[in-house]
Structure 1
């Protein structure tokens, strides 16, 4: 017979509190008018968000009034030039979100002026945000929120970003560069000996024996052809120091991590991200809230604390953003001086399924409601959400609670993605459920 002490369930101590987290919010349209009983899918979703103690979201756009903006599009963009009116941000806050992550590949689409203008809008609305700053230290530092359940810290970072978007460190004699809290992914192309000899000779013939390395793909001889990725150790150490610092000043520490690697269509989580997210938990994070590839990836619970490798899209107003800079028309071989935004979106829709995010998975996600005792998660309810892919552009991309059939399919896909991490997620009572 098993001893009574072994049969007794482990006691969990600490204050009770709830958290919800959403993935990418690419906002552009007003939504507050939908928050009414006549629109139950949206209205009930808002009620869920407002019912929790802490709610976090990734703000994946710039926010400012284009009519008074004095900047210009950046030379590099995170895929497209995203911008939203301040009223759309106010509507996102009205849904119930408290904390806004900004460390992502679109933070500098409109240059440093757009980055700083967005910060002014957020500050003017009293909305805490992290992941961007006037130098690397500011971009990497946590933001704090005092709540009834304790003091909450949030850090935001991105492993996906154009090189010019990364914030630079300060020195006593040189100012830092404004930008995002970037954690660099380094890459090496390993080749079989024969192929390596040919390519190494080719780059040397160009007069630059490190040609591939300048594209962040250093050549190396190996036994097979493969791409090896890892995180820059100095960036990892810097982030972990910030987490430990935040844990000393807050009761709850959230880390928002934005990762597209290896590519948006890939649902498998890179091994280096698993290692990094677990290290964040070990350093003191209460939860790791991942997003980036615009669709769901799996989750796990490490040391009693949740890790979401991607929460997918939460708002996806990507088909109504105006204006569109000239460079973006050129991507689709359209004349930038005479084409209209509607021409750009029509051409993009016809280009390819990958460019158009045509798969339904990009328009389906989950809103997790996490219950904590202290810093240990004791249960999660997953509310399936769909983003109205079938509607016209003027209504497409706005989140609503999914119907039962769609919801069961979303939960089943998420459960399958989470199974390799030892997480068993069940469909019960119209929700996905996880229990320790």
Structure 2
């Protein structure tokens, strides 16, 4: 009977060796364990086969780690034999690469990828399945997508000589039709990604909220119960009172509970657990995370995560060290080699271009200049400036975090742009100074040594 009771407690994460009173789990890797984490992989070809100046030094960093992580923001299939179709919804582009990218990702050093993002379902179920097959065939572990919600939400595992690594992947930015679901009654489950739904509010002063309420009340057939006593729903947007005009988000509690459960289980079955979110909120223009992110990140660490990694905004945001574990609020871009073809007729329509006259490259160039919605667009050099993060662990503690600045070649011609190289000293100083300022918001001390950013939590 006593063993049964302890097993029941273990399911709840209580009274289990390795848990403290807050419910977190200790890191359990061998000394020298190294995690390399980078941002978005918008890649359309096999990069190791090309002549990319400085890319060899990038590969040295990627390959010299136990776990090398990135966000898989493209799909992998051969359009000539592909059985699917471009979807009516797209996440801003129709990202696709040839099957040769599968072995090339492994050759680069990647062994862990997140696949929950706003581009995962642009080519439908068929595109997602082809991509998953390409990754499986090349022994690249991925998480965040699956045949139903349970599979998409589950932790996936990488075996390394210094410990077993779990990966839990979700997206707060996603196309509506890409969200996976589980079976219910006679209805089957739906393939898709592990989504974190957010309720978005626009915060405004009280006086503005009163004016909006008056406007809403003057409209015919409004539902007075919709929006709540402290908020106003109007024309598809929700408003609530705040100190200044901006955006505020409330994560869906059911989604949060599901992700937390999988974080706990991932750490219970592994030595090291990575949790990762693809979220653009409040927008690509912002160097600060959305207002919900810090609280949620800390919950994941408390539940057992050893690192929390955000990607999506396409530019760097700050780094926090919480309970000795790194929180990356955005690792920005790693590759923006956006030579995709085909792009899908919907993108021609979105950019008011005729596919009989214009080319796929011209559609892509137009997108890169406009960006998403009201964002400044990818013509800004800041989107081509990033870092490779290298987290080194000793005695189950983060001993040192090194940040290698990279340059994705904003000034290069279109066909050569987007492949990273180590940034030259002047650019490296600019990138690290920005990251130091943004990380200082979270009380993180970042020093610059030989054009590399260094964070030593215990120094």
Given that residues 188 and 216 in structure 1 are in contact (C-alpha distance below 8 angstroms), is that contact kept between their aligned partners in structure 2?
A: no
CA deviation after TM superposition for structure 1 residue 223, in Å: 9.1
Give 2:317's aligned residue: 297
Match of 2:430 among 409, 412, 424: 409
Give 2:379's aligned residue: 358
Q: Name the Cα RMSD after superposition.
A: 2.5
Q: Distance in 2 between matches of 1:62 and 1:270?
A: 27
Change (3 A) 1:117 1:205: same
CA deviation after TM superposition for structure 1 residue 355, in Å: 6.1
Matched residue SS, 1:267: coil
Matched, 1:373 2:394: yes
CA deviation after TM superposition for structure 1 residue 337, in Å: 4.5
CA deviation after TM superposition for structure 1 residue 46, in Å: 0.3
Structure 1 residues not aligned, in runs of 5+: 1-11
Q: Distance in 1 between matches of 2:297 and 2:149?
A: 20
Given that residues 71 and 110 in structure 1 are in contact (C-alpha distance below 8 angstroms), is that contact kept between their aligned partners in structure 2?
A: yes
Give 2:332's aligned residue: 312
Give 1:9's aligned residue: none
Change (3 A) 1:85 1:286: same
Change (3 A) 1:88 1:415: same
Q: Distance in 1 between matches of 2:450 and 2:235?
A: 50
Matched, 1:169 2:185: no
CA deviation after TM superposition for structure 1 residue 356, in Å: 4.0
Give 2:133's aligned residue: 120
Q: Distance in 1 between matches of 2:251 and 2:340?
A: 33
Q: Distance in 1 between matches of 2:369 and 2:439?
A: 33
Q: Distance in 2 between matches of 1:256 and 1:227?
A: 22
Matched, 1:79 2:92: yes
Give 1:239's aligned residue: 259
Given that residues 432 and 448 in structure 2 are in contact (C-alpha distance below 8 angstroms), is that contact kept between their aligned partners in structure 1?
A: yes
Q: Distance in 1 between matches of 2:95 and 2:170?
A: 18
Q: Distance in 2 between matches of 1:15 and 1:157?
A: 28
Q: Distance in 2 between matches of 1:376 and 1:172?
A: 46
Matched residue SS, 1:335: coil
Given that residues 183 and 189 in structure 2 are in contact (C-alpha distance below 8 angstroms), is that contact kept between their aligned partners in structure 1?
A: yes
CA deviation after TM superposition for structure 1 residue 30, in Å: 2.5
Residue-by-residue CA offset, 1:265-285 (whole Å, 9 max, x unaligned): 101112201111111100000
Q: Distance in 2 between matches of 1:343 and 1:67?
A: 22
Give 1:285's aligned residue: 305
CA deviation after TM superposition for structure 1 residue 260, in Å: 0.2
What TM-score results when the alignment is normalised by the length of structure 2?
A: 0.86
List aligned pairs for 1:70-149, cutoff 5 A: 70-149=83-162
Q: Distance in 1 between matches of 2:222 and 2:29?
A: 63
Matched residue SS, 2:196: coil
Give 2:346's aligned residue: 327
Select between 17-26 and 205-214 the one with higher mean Cα deviation: 205-214
Select between 193-202 and 277-286 the one with higher mean Cα deviation: 193-202
- Between Structure 1 and Structure 2, how many residues are aligned? 420
Matched residue SS, 2:200: strand
CA deviation after TM superposition for structure 1 residue 308, in Å: 0.2
Structure 2 residues not aligned, in runs of 5+: 1-26
Matched, 1:382 2:395: no
List aligned pairs for 1:179-194, cutoff 5 A: 179-189=192-202, 191-194=208-211
Change (3 A) 1:197 1:222: farther
Select between 374-383 and 341-350 the one with higher mean Cα deviation: 341-350
CA deviation after TM superposition for structure 1 residue 213, in Å: 6.0
CA deviation after TM superposition for structure 1 residue 363, in Å: 0.5
Q: Distance in 1 between matches of 2:450 and 2:434?
A: 17
Matched residue SS, 2:292: helix
Given that residues 106 and 138 in structure 2 are in contact (C-alpha distance below 8 angstroms), is that contact kept between their aligned partners in structure 1?
A: no
Change (3 A) 1:394 1:274: same
Q: Distance in 2 between matches of 1:174 and 1:215?
A: 33
Given that residues 193 and 222 in structure 1 are in contact (C-alpha distance below 8 angstroms), is that contact kept between their aligned partners in structure 2?
A: no
Q: Distance in 1 between matches of 2:242 and 2:404?
A: 46
What TM-score results when the alignment is normalised by the length of structure 1?
A: 0.90
Matched, 1:342 2:355: no
Residue-by-residue CA offset, 1:344-364 (whole Å, 9 max, x unaligned): 234445657946401111101
Match of 2:440 among 389, 395, 419: 419
Match of 1:15 among 30, 33, 49: 30
Q: Distance in 2 between matches of 1:311 and 1:258?
A: 11
Q: Distance in 2 between matches of 1:309 and 1:28?
A: 26
Match of 1:197 among 182, 205, 214: 214
Given that residues 278 and 311 in structure 2 are in contact (C-alpha distance below 8 angstroms), is that contact kept between their aligned partners in structure 1?
A: yes
